[in-house]
Structures are given as structure tokens and as C-alpha cells.
Amino acid sequence: MVMLTFRNDNGEIVGYTQTHGRIKRANDQDGIVIYNEEDKREFSLPPKYSALQPARPGEYRESNSGYTVIDPDFITLWEIINHSQEKGGGSEWKDIGPVQYPQS
């Protein structure tokens, strides 16, 4: 499970998405490459392996698609700051883990 929060230079949330897939490869050059079987697409995360945290067993429902992932191996949370052209452009990725689970 991958959870992404998008922010602008002012720190305001401008988007949020959740997705999932199988880790296809992971290396320092390509990052953590994940393949989503439903939409037949690959996407990459930065090569920060400590950001992959073991997920608790259970059902995880993607808020944007409604898709339910059952018992994922890992969960990772990222914040992506999209910088304006005035501030040099580009994106900055920040691992915002660890995942906080509700108390049972």
C-alpha cells in the first residue's frame, strides 16, 4: 500500500492518493518500482527502503478508487512537495512514516 500526500510550496495539501502493487524491483538507480496489476502501470518511489514498513494484517481500502487490498506486505507514506517555478520547480519527496495505527 502506498499513500501519497501532495503539497504546494506553502505547505497546503493540494492532493492525496492511495495505490498498491507488487514490488517489481528495487535498486538505488530506479528506486522502488511497483507494478499495479489493475491499471497495468509501473510507478517508482525513492530508494529509501526503510520507508517500507510491515503492514498489519487486514483490509486496506483505497479512498480514491475504493479498491480493497487484503493483507498487504508493506505500507508506506510519502509527502510530495511540488515546488513552483519561482522556487526552482521540481518535486521533493519526504517519507512521513511510521504508520500510526489506531489502538485496538
First to last CA, the chain: 21
The pTM for the full model equals: 0.85
What residue numbers bound the domain in which 57 lies?
2-95
pLDDT at 84: 87
As a whole number of Å, the CA-based R_g of the chain is 14
Q: What is the pLDDT along the chain (104 residues), one digit of tens a residue?
A: 999 999 999 999 999 999 999 999 999 999 999 999 988 999 999 999 999 999 999 999 998 889 999 999 999 999 999 998 888 889 999 999 777 777 65
The tally of domains found in the chain comes to 1
pLDDT at 103: 63
Decide if 59 is inside a domain. yes
Decide if 101 is inside a domain. no
